[in-house]
Amino acid sequence: MMLFLFNLNNMVFYTESDWRGVMNHIFKLAFIFIINIIFLINAS
């Protein structure tokens, strides 16, 4: 969870730079991945 929060901080940091599009893409992938993990835990 700390790593996830760290990634959120990076999103805020890169918002004003050219990395915005890349960070948004990575954030969306990470978000989907976390949702899938939560579903897997609930299913087991």
Q: Which residues contact 24 (CB under 8 A, 6 or more apart)?
A: 11
Q: Position of tokens 């960070």?
A: 23
pLDDT tens-place string over residues 13-35: 555 566 677 777 788 888 888 98
Model confidence at 43: pLDDT above 80: yes
Distance CA 36, CA 44 (A): 13
| pTM of the shown model | 0.46
CA 21 to chain centre: 13
pLDDT average, residue stretch 3-17: 60
